[in-house]
Amino acid sequence: MHVVMVAWRVKPEAISAFAARVGSQALASLAEEEGCRRFDVAQSTEDPARFLLYEIYATQKVFEDLGRTPHFLSFSADVVEMTLEKTVQQFTLLRV
């Protein structure tokens, strides 16, 4: 399994709009991507402008293919002006 964590810092005036849009993206990913196993969205309790996405995909290729889907391209276009900072980390899920 392929794990992706995306940390976002958004403009203060865009917090509500970003939260709504990223929530829609999570639902679309779960519904439309066969290999998307989990997509959680969290908002910082210390800084409401910080969000964390925790996503699990069946494979790294499934995640890479996401970048070409209409719902991802639309999401990216919608949030680019809301975003101050974005970092992406990728992991392999260990079975322990």
Q: Which structure tokens are listed for 31?
A: 């519904």
Res 69 pLDDT > 90: no
pLDDT attached to residue 20: 96
2-54 pLDDT tens trace: 999 999 999 999 999 999 999 999 998 898 888 999 999 999 999 999 999 99
pLDDT for the residue 10: 97
Please list, residue by residue across 40-71, b when 16 or more beta carbons sit within 10 angstroms of its beta carbon and e when fewer do. Answer: ebebeeeeebbbebebbbeeeebbeebeeeeb
Cβ atoms of 18 and 94 within 8 Å: the answer is no
| CA nearest to 58, candidates 29, 90, 34, 91 | 34
What does pTM read for this prediction?
Answer: 0.90
Parent domain of 38: 2-92
* Count of domains for the chain: 1
CATH number where 39 lies: 3.30.70.100
